[in-house]
Amino acid sequence: MRAGPERRAHCRSPARNPPWPPNVTLLGDGRIVRATDDSRARSHLLPTVTAEGARLVIDLPAWVAEAAVPGRAFRDDQDKMALVIRLAEENIARGDGGPFGAAVFEIGSGKVVAAGVNRVVEAANCVLHAEMIALMFAQQRVGSFTLRSPGRPEHELFTSCEPCAMCLGATLWSGVTRLVIGAEREDAMAVGFEEGPVFAESYAYIAAHGVQTVRGIRRAEAARLLRGYRDSGGPIYNPDSTPPTTGL
Q: Where in the sequence numbering do the catalytic residues fall? A: 131
CA distance 192 to 188: 7
Q: Is 237 exposed, middle or buried (0-12, 13-18, 19+ CB in 10 A)?
A: middle
* CA distance linking residue 90 with residue 100, whole number of Å: 10
Q: Where are the alpha helices (DSSP H) in the chain?
A: 62-67, 77-93, 120-123, 130-142, 165-174, 185-190, 200-208, 219-231
CA distances from 74 to 80, 103, 108, 112, 176 (A): 6, 12, 10, 8, 17
For residue 167, give Cα distances in angstroms to 120, 129, 182, 197. 13, 8, 15, 11
Q: Tell me if 157 sits within 8 A of 28, measured CB to CB.
A: no
Q: What 8-state DSSP symbol labels residue 93? A: H
Q: Which residues pair with 178 in a beta bridge?
A: 156, 212
Residue 33, beta-bridge partner list: 25
